[in-house]
Structure 1
Amino acid sequence: MTDTELSAVLRRVGLTSAEPPSVAALTRLHQAFVERVPYETVEIQLGRVTSLDPAESLARILRGRGGYCFHLNGALAEVLRALGYHVTRHLGGVQMTPDAEPVINRHHLVLTVRDLPDSEDAWLVDAGLGDGLHSPLPLREGSYRQGPFTFRLRPSWIAPGGWRLEHDPRGSLHAMDFAPGPAGMPDFAERHVHLSTSPDSGFVRTFGVQRTDASGWDTLRALTLTRTEDTKKKTVLETPAEWFEALADVYGLTFEPDERDVLWRKAYEQHEAHVNPAVDPSS
């Protein structure tokens, strides 16, 4: 990554200059990234399978878009390396509900940062959970409060040497485990194709965008916009004007006319299928 590219990415997330590695600088970068780069599945809804190449993910982010964990954490790893951090990618997996089995199935890419000059800890860095961490966490067992939410870190019992992040109960998932060893982007290629194209994939079935800030989460699924803080506030965006206004104002996402037509139609049909499952929304 060139200095010009790095400066452009930092401007994209609202930072004015590069800082040398430290806990405070890492925290500022993580917070800025998750606040301004949305977790989104727009390209999947448009029927376009994206590359896992971090350079392409960074280019898409600079165009005002985001992505999901493979894109977001893949790109963030390159930014961190360019800033001088020691970054490792890890294989992860998400446990959606308490009743589900914990897994490390390569459905999630996780980052850790080590050797910070002002910390003996390794740090969990994860911009790819959607409604997830606002700040990085030291890899030490315990509970961590961020805004209205509480997360818990503990050693993973399915991956010796790995770690488990237990989500706040208001989140969209129950927990995430990751393996201790390093991973490369090709390790996620098969799962990326599945998540992007399979009819069983939630990314294919439902339009989704999320972001995190210091006081809560913003989640848009189909036509329902939810703001989660101490409580949840849900709003159904019933017109294209309301829907695209929210996408622009909350997530910074804007679209070409042909993209708008496709995205609104899909989100509307998904919403109708959810609220009226016996009715065919296309009829």
Structure 2
Amino acid sequence: MDGEATGRARHALDAYLRRLGVPRPERADLETLARLQDRHLRTVPFETIDFNLGIPVRLGEGAVEKIAHRHRGGGCYELNTAFALLLRDLGYQVDLLSGRTLHDGRRAPLGVLGGHLMLKVTIDGEPWLVDVGFRWANQGPLRLRERGPQKDENGEYRILDADHGDVVIVHDGVPRVRLETRPRDPEDFAATLWWFATAPESPVTGTTVWASIVTGTGRVSLLDRTLTREEHGERIRDVLDDDAFPAACRRWFGIELDRLPTLPPLPADPS
């Protein structure tokens, strides 16, 4: 990377930190990692709007630019590869891990192989699991070697051993992800990313839109036209028409839309 490209990359990572509202930390320790992960989940939404709109989705530096300069979020591939670059720039040892979802919040399908991406961050020889790209992600690092319950602001997690060195991440009693523990390269996810962006069977194309962000009182999630706000344990659901949808994206996720995604029809008026 030449000097000009290096300067652009550093400028984007500095803008990334400003988006998170975190000054450049002095130490690459566990406390800083936990703060960065929590701030990421509160400021950068998990969202799949570009898949719906047919806009190219990029990993790594392209995802950093999307987060830092376009003020957008992204899917797990985007958010976690971008966060990996930021963490490495701050001095952390980071590996990409490949997983598959076991439950999507509505049912328990076996997700596509390699359909989820998480991070292993090693600090003083201790590996931690970090995820900023999943609705049921832990809000703080999970100790990879721990097999007992690990309490988190998003619930209780357990890491169970599986065949072939894999582990299963259980959240509040529900198996969410089966995860390989061998490191992967970003290129290993390219074919699956293409499938997500183009296949009719993909969960993020067609008329489907997902978005989620942690708030001070709970979480706000979007699935197609349904916006769900979790506030102090209470759930409030709104069905969004074509005018309310972009307004909700702007208000809750900070996303400015120049065109509406393809959405399912509004439900029939019960009256």
Q: TM-score, normalised by structure 2?
A: 0.85
Sequence identity percentage: 27
Query: How many angstroms apart in 2 are the aligned matches of 1:5 and 1:91?
Result: 26
Structure 2: stretches of 5+ with no match in the other structure: 1-5
Partner residue, 2:3: none
Structure-2 residue corresponding to 1:279 = none
Distance 2:242 2:110 in 1: 39
Q: 1:115 aligns with which of 108, 112, 123?
A: 123
The 5-angstrom pairing of residues 235-246 of structure 1 reads: 235-240=238-243, 242-246=244-248
**CA 1:57/1:112 → structure 2, altered by over 3 Å: closer, same or farther?**
same
Which deviations, in whole Å up to 9, do the C-alpha atoms of 1:52-100 show, x marking residues without a partner?
A: 3x11110011111111011010101000100000001111111027985
SS, match of residue 197 in structure 2: helix
Amino acid at match of 1:222: D
- Counterpart contact for 1:69–1:128, Cα < 8 Å: yes
Distance 1:152-1:231 versus aligned 2 partners, 3 A rule: farther
Could you tell me how far 1:16 is from its partner in structure 2? 2.4
1:44-63 correspondence to structure 2 within 5 Å: 44-52=51-59, 54-62=60-68, 63=70
Instruction: Name the CA distance, whole Å, in 1 between partners of 2:249 and 2:190.
Output: 28
- The aligned length equals 256
TM-score (ref. length: structure 1): 0.82
Post-superposition offset of 1:17: 2.5
Distance change in 2, residues 1:254/1:196 (3 Å): same
Alpha-carbon deviation of 1:148? 5.6
- 1:194 corresponds to: 195
- How far is the alpha carbon of 1:11 from its aligned partner? 0.1
Q: Which residue of 1 aligns with 2:139?
A: 134
Q: Name the aligned partner's letter for residue 119 of structure 2.
A: L
Residue of structure 2 equivalent to 1:281: none
Change (3 A) 1:215 1:152: farther
User: Cα offset for 1:130?
Assistant: 2.6
| Structure 1 residue 168 corresponds to structure 2 residue 172 | yes
Residue 225 of structure 1 corresponds to 227
Alignment of 1:5-20 (within 5 A): 5-20=12-27
Tell me the equivalent position of 1:280.
none
Aligned to 1:144: 150
SS in 2 for 1:111: strand
Q: Write the mapping of 1:180-191 to structure 2, written as runs, cut at 5 A.
A: 180-191=181-192
For 1:175, give the aligned amino acid.
R
Where does the alignment leave 5 or more consecutive residues of structure 1 unmatched?
277-283
| Worse-matched range after superposition: 5-14 or 95-104 | 95-104
Are the counterparts in 2 of residues 49 and 193 from structure 1 also a CA contact under 8 Å?
no
